[in-house]
Every structure is written in C-alpha cells, then in structure tokens.
C-alpha cells in the first residue's frame, strides 16, 4: 500500500497553495508560437540593472567558488551609511520575500494570528500559513485602500504580527506618513508591525522617509533591490528596525542566505543613486502616459503609486487573452479576488507604445464582446 505522505506532513501543509508567478516570456512564446514577447507582469525595472552593478557582477564571476559573507557585512554597512542607522538595525534576506517569511516565522506559530489586508501582497498569507499561524485578512476600504482602522480593530490577544504594504501591491494605493503613524499609535505595544515598502523608491519624493519619520517599538520596515534597483534576479531585500527583534529573526536565517553576487551588486546599485533616480523618473513618466490613456478609455482601475498601472474591465479575461495573443504579458489579479483587474508593469517607452497600440484595438473588440 502506498504511503500517504500528505497525512505525515505538518498540518499547515494542507492549507498551503503555491504562489503563482507572472508568466515567463519563454512560456508565452511556446504557447502562442510567437518569436518575441514583452513581460509586464512582475513589476521589474525594464531599464535593466545599474551599469555599475553589471560591471561588478562580471568582475566577481570568477570568485563564486567562495561562500558569501553569511552576515552580509559590507552590504549592511553600505545600507547603514545610506539610512544613517546602525548595522545592528538591519537584516538582509534572499529577497524581501525571505525577510517577510522569517519575520513571521519568528513571532507567529500555532495558535497565533497574523493580520494583513485582503488585497495586500499574497506572500503575507502564505508565510503566516507556512508558519502554522492563522492569517486574518481584513477587507479593504472602498475597494482598494488598506482599511487601517479595521486592521487595528481586528487585533486580538492572539495577534503577533500585522503587515501593511505602502505603496500597496497589487492595488498601488498610498498612505502618507501621518496616516501610518496614526495607525501605529493606535496599535497595542508588543505587536510586530511589518511595513513593506518594496515600492518606496517610487514615492520617495512624495512621503517622508519612514525609516526616520515613523515611531513604534515593533516597527520593521522592509525594502527590496528587486524593483527600482533592478536586481530581481539576484534576490536581495532588507529590513530595518529594532535590534533585538532582528537578532531573534537572525536565529532562523540560513547561514548563507544571500548569495555572493547579490551582495556585491546591491552595494554597487545602492551607490548609483543617479541611475536609480533616472529610471524612476522614466517609470513615472511612462505611468502617467499609460494612466491617461486608460482613463480616456474608461478602464483605469485606480491611481497607482508603484511602477505599474491597474486596468479594470468586466471582460478582463478577454483583454488578458488578446494581449497575450499579441505577445504582451500582464498580470491577472484573480488570486487577489479582483477578477476584473489586470496589473500592468510600466515598461520602456517602446514597450508602452506597443501596449497602448494593442489595448486600443483590443478594447474596441472587448466592447463588442460585452
């Protein structure tokens, strides 16, 4: 008789469902028999990594037989200088995904609760479940914005961690620093609060720098090199917060969690502020152009503060299929219970042209279908 391995795994394995990533370009090419496609599904930086990061990667390629610095000491020092904080207030992970997972695992287990928004980044729910904790999804205010009052009201004696993203992915909404501080002030002491700022660089000129502006003993701010910094493929994210909290999280870290090339490229990219500012400016100009067109066509799903726009259409599945037919990969938001939305990453000027041309013809057809 075969062994029922599923019954032998820990209980929470039954409640875990794998994350569905953006469709890879290669997969679309095969599916549709195309020779070229563009991916606007994963909020990558379409302008590529900083040239200085590329140069460092080429230099360091010959030393990858050595283990990385497990403590990522040089990268921590570079971040400490940038943020004017101490290295003991920094934790580095294999993408901010790992930072989120380890934070939640360290503070929430069986019988504990982790609070997040119903339309917050799906990894909060996955990480809570993987840790054996109960995830508590709080509905959004007016469809898209975190309902900070409702999140505070959801706290119970079993709540250990609360996660918010600002700007939020996938909805693109933004709260200013005073709204976040009011939220923090309303929370009981002793909660770990994860403020996920993966898209911070796109609003750095709009809101106060949370690392210095916000006050809460359990506040942990997460940032990433995967978006504005253009290093998604290397996997490096970080957290800033209380040294005792991060020291506890560090106990759960694998000895060499962040790879050698990622550490070196992140330091180079961090130093290249002019390059980051330039690509962020290009992204914002592209976002403005896309949002203006979507609004004209009556399909703008909401104002976005990230490097992506939201398209809303009652035939979103049809629009998705037609875009893919033309070699353009957006991200369907059905996993976020937003079946009439597509999230579309702002591309290069050429990619945005191609997207708008495609959408223009598809939306006429979609109107006929509807």
Enumerate residues 226-265 that contact a second copy by CB under 8 A: 226, 230-235, 242, 244-245, 248, 250-257, 259-262, 265
Q: How far is the CB of 233 from a second copy (least distance, A)?
A: 3
State the Cα angle at 97 between 39 and 109, rounded to 5°: 145
10 binds a second copy, rule: CB under 8 A: yes
The only residue of 189, 274, 296, 368 in contact with a second copy, by rule CB under 8 A: 189
Tokens representing 335? 């996993």
Please identify which residue in the block is written with the tokens 């796109």. 202
| DSSP strand pairing (341-345 vs 328-329) | unpaired
Q: How far is the CB of 259 from a second copy (least distance, A)?
A: 5
CB nearer a second copy, residue 99 or residue 293: 99
Question: In the range 155-174, which residues lie near a second copy by CB under 8 A?
Answer: 160
Interaction pattern, residues 73-112, with a second copy; x per rule: CB under 8 A: ---------------------xx-xx--x---xxxxxx--
Count how many Cα atoms sit within 13 Å of the Cα of residue 3 in the half-sphere of its side chain: 3
Q: How far is the CB of 292 from a second copy (least distance, A)?
A: 26
Which residues, 6+ apart, have CB-to-CB distance to 188 below 8 Å?
155
The only residue of 34, 47, 289, 351 in contact with a second copy, by rule CB under 8 A: 47
Q: How far is the CB of 15 from a second copy (least distance, A)?
A: 9
Contact indicator for 194, 161 with CB cutoff of 8 Å: yes
State the sign of the Cα–Cα–Cα–Cα dihedral 224, 227, 230, 234: positive
The per-residue b/e assignment along 227-243, b for 16 or more CB within 10 angstroms, e otherwise, is bbbbbbebbbbbbbbbe
DSSP string, 203-220: TTTTS--HHHH---TTEE
Measured CA to CA, the distance from residue 116 to residue 165 in angstroms comes to 9
Interaction pattern, residues 56-75, with a second copy; x per rule: CB under 8 A: -xx--xxxxxxxxxx-----
Q: Per CB under 8 A, which region of 49-57, 308-316, 326-334, 338-346 contacts a second copy?
A: 49-57
Q: Per CB under 8 A, which region of 45-53, 173-181, 280-288, 354-362 contacts a second copy?
A: 45-53
Measured CA to CA, the distance from residue 277 to residue 168 in angstroms comes to 21
Q: Per CB under 8 A, which region of 83-91, 147-155, 189-197, 291-299 contacts a second copy?
A: 189-197
Measured CA to CA, the distance from residue 7 to residue 362 in angstroms comes to 48
Tokens representing 354? 């191609």
CB nearer a second copy, residue 230 or residue 302: 230
Measured CA to CA, the distance from residue 196 to residue 164 in angstroms comes to 6
The only residue of 29, 34, 42, 88 in contact with a second copy, by rule CB under 8 A: 42
Count how many Cα atoms sit within 13 Å of the Cα of residue 147 in the half-sphere of its side chain: 14
| DSSP strand pairing (134-138 vs 113-117) | parallel
The only residue of 39, 287, 322, 343 in contact with a second copy, by rule CB under 8 A: 39
Tokens representing 341? 């939305």
Question: In the range 107-146, which residues lie near a second copy by CB under 8 A?
Answer: 107-110, 123, 130, 132
Judged by DSSP in three states, 262 sits in helix
271 binds a second copy, rule: CB under 8 A: no
Q: How far is the CB of 72 from a second copy (least distance, A)?
A: 12
Question: In the range 282-311, which residues lie near a second copy by CB under 8 A?
Answer: none
209 binds a second copy, rule: CB under 8 A: no
Q: How far is the CB of 358 from a second copy (least distance, A)?
A: 21
Q: How far is the CB of 16 from a second copy (least distance, A)?
A: 4
| DSSP strand pairing (159-165 vs 113-117) | parallel
Number of residues that bind a second copy (CB under 8 A): 82
The only residue of 28, 38, 53, 128 in contact with a second copy, by rule CB under 8 A: 53
């Amino acid at each position: 008789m075969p062994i029922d391995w599923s019954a032998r795994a820990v209980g929470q394995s039954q409640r875990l469902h794998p994350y569905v990533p953006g469709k890879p370009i290669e997969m679309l090419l095969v599916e549709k028999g195309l020779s070229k496609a563009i991916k606007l599904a994963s909020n990558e930086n379409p302008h590529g990594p900083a040239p200085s990061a590329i140069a460092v990667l080429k230099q360091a390629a010959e030393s990858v037989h050595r283990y990385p610095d497990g403590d990522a000491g040089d990268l921590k020092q570079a971040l400490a200088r940038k943020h004017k904080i101490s290295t003991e207030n920094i934790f580095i992970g294999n993408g901010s995904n790992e930072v989120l997972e380890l934070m939640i695992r360290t503070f929430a287990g069986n019988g504990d609760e982790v609070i997040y928004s119903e339309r917050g980044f799906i990894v909060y729910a996955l990480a809570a479940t993987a840790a054996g904790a109960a995830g508590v999804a709080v509905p959004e205010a007016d469809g898209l914005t975190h309902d900070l009052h409702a999140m505070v009201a959801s706290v119970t004696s079993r709540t250990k961690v609360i996660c918010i993203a600002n700007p939020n992915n996938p909805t693109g909404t933004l709260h200013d620093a005073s709204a976040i501080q009011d939220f923090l002030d309303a929370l009981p002491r002793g909660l770990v609060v994860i403020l996920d700022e993966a898209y911070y660089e796109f609003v750095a000129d709009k809101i106060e720098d949370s690392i210095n502006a916000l006050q809460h003993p359990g506040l942990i701010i997460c940032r990433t090199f995967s978006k504005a910094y253009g290093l998604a493929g290397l996997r490096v994210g970080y957290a800033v917060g209380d040294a005792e909290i991060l020291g506890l999280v560090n106990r759960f870290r694998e000895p060499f969690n962040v790879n050698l090339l990622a550490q070196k490229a992140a330091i180079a990219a961090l130093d290249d502020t002019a390059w980051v500012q330039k690509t962020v400016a290009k992204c914002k100009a592209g976002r403005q152009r896309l949002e203006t067109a979507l609004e004209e066509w009556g399909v703008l799903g909401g104002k976005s503060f990230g490097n992506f726009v939201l398209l809303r259409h009652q035939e979103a599945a049809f629009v998705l299929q037609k875009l893919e037919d033309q070699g353009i990969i957006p991200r369907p938001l059905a996993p976020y219970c937003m079946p009439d939305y597509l999230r579309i990453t702002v591309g290069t000027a050429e990619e945005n042209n191609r997207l708008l041309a495609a959408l223009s013809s598809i939306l006429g057809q979609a109107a006929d279908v509807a």
